[in-house]
Structure formats: C-alpha cells, structure tokens
Structure 1
Amino acid sequence: MPPPLPTHSLPRLAPLALTLAALLSGCASITSSTQALPETPVPAEWSVSAPYAPATADALSLAAWWQGFNDPQLTALVTRALQANTDIRTAQAALQQARALRDVSAAGLAPRVDTSASAQRSKSGGSQAGNLFQAGFDASWEPDVFGGRRSALNASDADVRAATASLGNVQVSLAAEVALAYLQLRGLQAQRLIAQGSLAAQRETLQLTRWRAQAGLASSLDVEQGIAASEQTAAQIPLLDTGIAQAASSLAVLTGQSPGVLRSALANAAPVPQAASDLALAIPAETLRQRPDVRAAVDRI
C-alpha cells in the first residue's frame, strides 16, 4: 500500500486537477459539437394550393428527372451532355478525392499490421551451406480516447456526401439547361407551324377578298387589311427560324456536337414534351431536401 501524500502537497495538485478537467471537458465539447445540425422551420403545405396530388417517394429523387418527359431525343441529349461536359468531370474528380481522404481517415481507426520477411543463404566454416529464413509480425493500435479520429472520419464522410451533392448539383443544372433549350426549340417549331398555317389561310382569304373587290362586293380597304395581316404573319417566320437556330446552337454547345449536325437531326418538328404530373412536389420541405446545393451545404456544416 503506497504511503499517503503529504497534506502540504494537495494545494499544488489542485491547479493540475482543474487544468486536466478543463482539457477533458473541452475535448468532450469538441467531439459532441459536430453531431447537431440546425433545424429550419418549414411550412407543412404550400401557401397556394396546387392542382396536383402529392408525389410519391420514388418521384422525389432528382436523378434522371428529365426521363419524366418521355421524350427519347431529350433523354439522349441530356445523356450526351452529362458525358461531354468538363464541369461534370471536375466534380467527379473532387468526389474521388473526397472518397480517398475518407478512406485515409477510416484507416486511422483500424489497427495497423506490419509484416516483413527475409531470406539469407550462408556458409559456415564447413563445406555445407544453409538457408536462413526470418519473418516478422508487428501489430499496433492507438486508441481514440478523445474521439479526434472519429470526428475526422465523420468530417470526411460529410465531405464525401457534400462532393456527391455538388456533383448532383452540376448534373441537375446542366440537365436543366439542356431541357430548357430543347423545350424552347420544340416550342418555336410549333409556333412556326402555326404561323405557316395562318399565313396560308390569310393568303387564301386575301385572294377571295380581291375577287370580291373586283366584283364590287368588297372595298379596297378590305384588300389592304388582308395584305397587311398576311405580311405581318410572314415576317414572324424568319424570326422564329432565327430562334430555332439559336436553340439548336445552344444544344450543340451543351452536348459537344456540331451545330449543323444537331440542326439536321432536330429539323423535323415534334410535339412539345409534357412533364409527368408526379415530377411536382407537394411539400415545401421535401422540395428543399431534394436540392443538391442544399444537401451539400448541410453536409459542409
């Protein structure tokens, strides 16, 4: 049994005990502070009622949302854009780096094992030679007393999730740009078809008006109004053609294709694709959670 400490040494130990207690409480507060995330109050319903039904759980994911338009050409354009875009490759490289750092942090929590082996051939004083084999095994493990390694691993996991969300953010943004350009192109093509039909009808009406004017059944003012209406409609067609060419050029840039090749592939007008009803979200909180930039910001806290 060890002898009791002198009473005059207790005052000297008190500051040391207080210091150790402060350090331990500081370490505990550091490890526990990384667990809680702020909660932002979000309304349970939209302030304005929506005409659609709440989406199902499968429809809440933003992955491949463009397939909800059921347009093969749009799907092909988005797929090509995701494969050709340099921002996507940059985000993928950042994700791979975050995963590598996460693996390094995870390795710090596991025991470390080192092995070694060697072989040596020697000959003693006699004429007989011998082989000497040696093998070594060493295992070590540093306990994570204060949770520093665990916190580093948790931070690395959050970095991986943030990088994944950032990659998803780039993908969603790029897919949205492609979809907007494609919808604009199809919309302009539909407007051009309407303008062509209107122009043909106006020209036919103008010819009938001229015949009626020759027969004294219509005035020259009716003829002039018919001419002005047909010319106004005819002037819209070149503007629509310019818009179609610009939309095709935007798609060519986004997908890494030649504008001429893409313009030829999309020359034939097609119906404007309609989004599926389950693409809309009925709960504001779910809408926020599906935004990749929001998920990345939460993981970086």
Structure 2
Amino acid sequence: MNRASAAAIALLLGGCAVGPNYHAPPAGALGVPAGYAEPVTAAPRTAATIGRPDPAPSDLAAWWRTFDDPLLTDLVARATVGNLQIAQSAARLVQAREALVQAGADRFPTLSGSAGASHNVTRGGGSSIVVGGGNGSPGTVVTTGGSSGTTQLSLGLDASWQADIFGGVRRGIEAARADEAAAGFDLEAVRTAIAGEVATNYIDARLAQTRLRIALTTLRTQDDNLQIAGWRVQAGLVSALDVEQARGQRAQTAASIPAIETSYAQAVARLGILVGQAPGALRGEMEASRPIPRGPDGIAVGIPAETLRRRPDVRRAERQLAAATARIGVAQAALYPALSIGGNLNTSAASIGSLGSLLTGSLFAGLAHTIFDGGRRRSQVRSARAGADIALAGYRQTVLTGLEDVENAMQALAAAKARQVQLAIALDASNNAALYARSQYRSGLIDFLTLLQSEQALLSARDQLAAAQADQALSLVQLYLALGGGWQSDTNYRAGTPG
C-alpha cells in the first residue's frame, strides 16, 4: 500500500472535524481593562487590627475565616454540605458527566446478540377405533398413530458502526466535555453564592442584635428621664409637658423593637434554610449576642484579568461558549454523507454441542446522504452559529458584570469605612452632649425638649454607626465574592483559561 492510499484510508476512517476550532477570546477582546478604576490595597496596621493575619490571595479560598468568627465558619461549612441548592447543582454535574459518557459511546461499534430455539412436530400414520356407544348412541372416534419432532437452536451476533468521517461525533464529545466543565463551574458558583448568603444573613442577624441592645439601653435611659420629669412635675418645677414628651420618646423607641426582632428572626430563619435545616433550627445557637463580624481593613484585589480567572461564573460562561462553538461542527457534519459499516455472524444446530460447527456471516457498508430536506440541516447550522453568538455575548456580559461587581464592592467598602470614621466622631460628640444635657436638666438649666433632642441624636448616632459597621462587613463579603472568593482556580475541570 502506497502512502497516498494510506492517507486516503486515514481520511475516510478518521476524517477531519468540520466547523470552527474553538479558541478562548483574549482579555482585550472582552473589554477587560489593565487595572481597576479604584484599587483597594491592604490598609496599614492599627491598634484594632494588630494580631490579625495579613490578607493574602490564598484567603480567597476560605475568605469567611478572615472574619475570625468560629460560628460563621461553622455555618458556611454546614451549608456547603447540607444546602439543597448545592445538592441540585451537584446532581446536574453528574448528569453532565453521564452525557459526556453517552457522547463518547458514539465512537465505538454497537454490538447486539440474539439466541433462539424452535421445535417442529410431525404427525403421521395411524388407525381409528370407536369407543363406547350402544343402545342407539354413537361412540367416540379416537385416532391413534405416531408423531416425530426436531429441535433447532440458533445464535447470532450483529455489529454496526458509523464512521465519523467529518467529525460530527468528535464535535459532540467536545461540546459535552465543555458542558461538563460548565456544570462544574456552576457548582462552584453556587457554593460561593451560598457562602456569601450565609455570611450576609449572619451579619444581618448580628446587626439586629446590636440594634436591639442599643434600643434596650436607650429605653432604660428614657425610663430614667421619664422618672426625673415626673419628680420635677410633682415638685412644681416644670409642667406636665415634660412628662408627655418623655412618654412619647420612650414609646417611639419601644415601637422600633418589634421591627428589629422581626429582622433578626428572618435572618436566623434564612440561615437555617441555607444549611439545609428547618427555619427555626439555629435559634438556640444564634441566641447568644455577639458583635458584628469585622474582617480585614483591606485586601489586595490584583488586576482584572486575574479576577476573571478566579470567578467560576466567568469560567462557566467561557465553557458554554466552547460548547456552543463545537455544536456548529455537529450541525455542519450532518450536511455530508454518512458511512455505515455493519455485519452479522450466525450459527444454528440441532444441539448445543453442535453450535459453532457451521457459521454464516455477512459484511456490508452503506453511504447515505440527504438530497433534499427543505433546508432543515442548513437552518440547523445557522441556528448553531446564532447559539455561539448568544454564548459569546453572554460571556462578554458576564465578564463586564464581574468587573462591575468588583468596582461597586470596592466603592461600597471605601464609603462604609469613611462613614464609620465620621459616625464614630458623631457618636462621641452625641454621647458627651447627652451627658451634659442630662446633668443640666437635673439642675434645671435646660428644658426637656433640649434633653429630648440630645437623646434622639445619641440613639441615631449609635444606630447609624452599627449600620455602617455592618455595611463594611457586607461590602467586604461582596468584594470577596466579586473577586471569585470561595473557589480554588485550580479545580480539576476540563476547562480552558480565558484571556
């Protein structure tokens, strides 16, 4: 056999895969900038952060540990195991892996076997006699004679195989492999989202506890003010207006408590669902009041291209684009002739021991090609190309949305930190003003309205500072998620690397 004949046979049996070969779009083609508009770097050490570990890229894999809250860490671990959304995503990954196995099976021949047995009976020769009868009654005619029979056993084996001349099967496997990787990244994206939701609701619960403590502390102060106002009215120093103002102020503070308790209960109920339990399962564990978690003052965000490699949703979108591109080749391969090769092998005998003594077989090949289908197959190619365009636009949208998430989280974190600085000053000033106002009211130097305004300012300053602390923690959670936190970028999926 000469070299040309060998090449022709290789082309016939191995074929060449039609359709475009996939290449991940470079970062520049996706509109990824060289750097972020507002980079955030690690903040200098302060007295409050001494003893905390320096944030490092490895912290992204288990970013919730940087909040130094054992219960938060435990809840995230339990959610990773018990969350039902994660369970659904894991099952979808299993489906995608089985789809890859099914696609790969098309590369191999299909074998089927059959077995049969038959028994033929032959009757012949004999005589007839009359049984019974008499007294005018007819008798029964019975025929007697001999019979003989033969048994025939058979075995068969059929094989068929369709040659992947134009690579339709290979493109199908390529698409299934990309789908499997996309399902894996989807699982990681769900895991990171659930970890973020656990942290968010945990912070909300601790904020509610903090606000409840502030409200109860304020109520005790307002009870004292109401008592003092009552004494002063009894002494004839002030009018009953002071008492009514004190009562109204206390009632407004008390009215805020049910709403705070509702916020706390909703956050705890959501945490129960996130870990795969009943809504009230975590009430006992969360009952002990703890401060709002505080993470590191700053984290190194790196460059946008690194962020995209770390985010599982971006990697999922890239794999979906690869799958859509491969399906163009699947559709194009259907435009060309299909070569099928088949054969069978049969044997038959009168006994089991004689099976195989006589074998018959056949081998055949067929070439099929659709001449006219009303444009269906070419329409399928155009549809597959449109699907790839959709996947590309979705990939670019996911990339840009990821960059937006990082920018927004950095801005929110910076704003929350700036607000805390000013609100801390406001709280200190409001606390001093309230102390002076109480002292002066007891001495009769100011009216109750001035004291009332001072107390309201103090309550507002405490509440706003607590909210700003929670906002900083929540912004930090969002930044970790935006950077792809909670997922190791070296996860063993069959995936390309974008950019």
TM-score range, shorter chain: 0.5 to 0.7
Alignment of 1:122-141 (within 5 A): none
What is the CA-CA distance between 1:269 and the residue it aligns to? 0.9
Cα separation, partners in 2 of 1:280 and 1:257, compared to 1, 3 Å:
farther
Gaps in structure 2 of 5+ consecutive residues: 1-11, 44-53, 110-163, 322-499
Instruction: Report what 2:89 is aligned to.
Output: 91
Choose which of 193, 196, 204 in structure 1 pairs with 2:216: 196
Superposed CA offset, 1:66-116 (max 9, x none): 22322221222222222222322222223234445556778999x99xxxx
Q: Which amino acid aligns with 2:225?
A: T
Q: Distance in 2 between matches of 1:52 and 1:251?
A: 30
Q: Distance in 2 between matches of 1:204 and 1:71?
A: 36
1:180 maps onto 2:194 in alignment: no
What is the CA-CA distance between 1:193 and the residue it aligns to? 0.3
Instruction: Report what 2:268 is aligned to.
Output: 248
Q: Distance in 2 between matches of 1:88 and 1:146?
A: 39
Q: Distance in 2 between matches of 1:242 and 1:195?
A: 14
What is the CA-CA distance between 1:198 and the residue it aligns to? 0.6
Instruction: Report what 2:310 is aligned to.
Output: 290
Alignment of 1:124-273 (within 5 A): 154-273=174-293
Superposed CA offset, 1:129-156 (max 9, x none): xxxxxxxxxxxxxxx9987777666545
What is the CA-CA distance between 1:276 and the residue it aligns to? 2.9
1:42 maps onto 2:32 in alignment: yes
Q: Distance in 1 between matches of 2:57 and 2:215?
A: 43
Tell me the secondary structure at the aligned position of residue 64 of structure 1.
helix
Q: Would you say the 8 A contact 1:65–1:279 is kept in 2?
A: no
Q: Which amino acid aligns with 1:67?
A: R
Superposed CA offset, 1:251-278 (max 9, x none): 2222232344421221111111123345
Q: Distance in 2 between matches of 1:181 and 1:268?
A: 16
Q: Distance in 2 between matches of 1:152 and 1:175?
A: 35
Q: Distance in 1 between matches of 2:241 and 2:266?
A: 39
Q: Would you say the 8 A contact 2:201–2:270 is kept in 1?
A: yes
Cα separation, partners in 2 of 1:273 and 1:106, compared to 1, 3 Å:
same
Task: Name the structure where strand makes up a greater proportion of residues.
Answer: 2
Q: Distance in 1 between matches of 2:69 and 2:228?
A: 42
TM-score (norm 1): 0.67
Choose which of 48, 69, 72 in structure 2 pairs with 1:71: 69
Greater CA deviation, 215-224 or 288-297?
Answer: 215-224
Q: Distance in 2 between matches of 1:71 and 1:55?
A: 16
Aligned length in residues: 244
Tell me the secondary structure at the aligned position of residue 30 of structure 2.
coil
Q: Distance in 1 between matches of 2:79 and 2:102?
A: 33
Q: Distance in 1 between matches of 2:178 and 2:298?
A: 30
Superposed CA offset, 1:168-188 (max 9, x none): 111112222222221111110
Q: Distance in 2 between matches of 1:83 and 1:28?
A: 42
Q: Distance in 2 between matches of 1:55 and 1:286?
A: 17
Identity of aligned residues (%): 42
Between structure 1 and structure 2, the one with the greater Rg is 2
1:58 maps onto 2:58 in alignment: yes
TM-score (norm 2): 0.43
Relative contact order higher in (CA < 8 Å, ≥ 6 apart): 1
Q: Distance in 2 between matches of 1:189 and 1:233?
A: 15
Q: Would you say the 8 A contact 1:105–1:152 is kept in 2?
A: yes
Q: Would you say the 8 A contact 1:56–1:278 is kept in 2?
A: no
Cα separation, partners in 2 of 1:48 and 1:218, compared to 1, 3 Å:
farther
Q: Would you say the 8 A contact 1:55–1:281 is kept in 2?
A: no
Superposed CA offset, 1:13-57 (max 9, x none): xxxxxxxxxx9xx95773x62134353122233323536469743
Q: Would you say the 8 A contact 1:55–1:282 is kept in 2?
A: no
Instruction: Report what 1:121 is aligned to.
Output: none
Q: Would you say the 8 A contact 1:78–1:178 is kept in 2?
A: yes
Cα separation, partners in 2 of 1:259 and 1:94, compared to 1, 3 Å:
closer
Q: Distance in 2 between matches of 1:68 and 1:108?
A: 49
Q: Distance in 1 between matches of 2:283 and 2:74?
A: 15
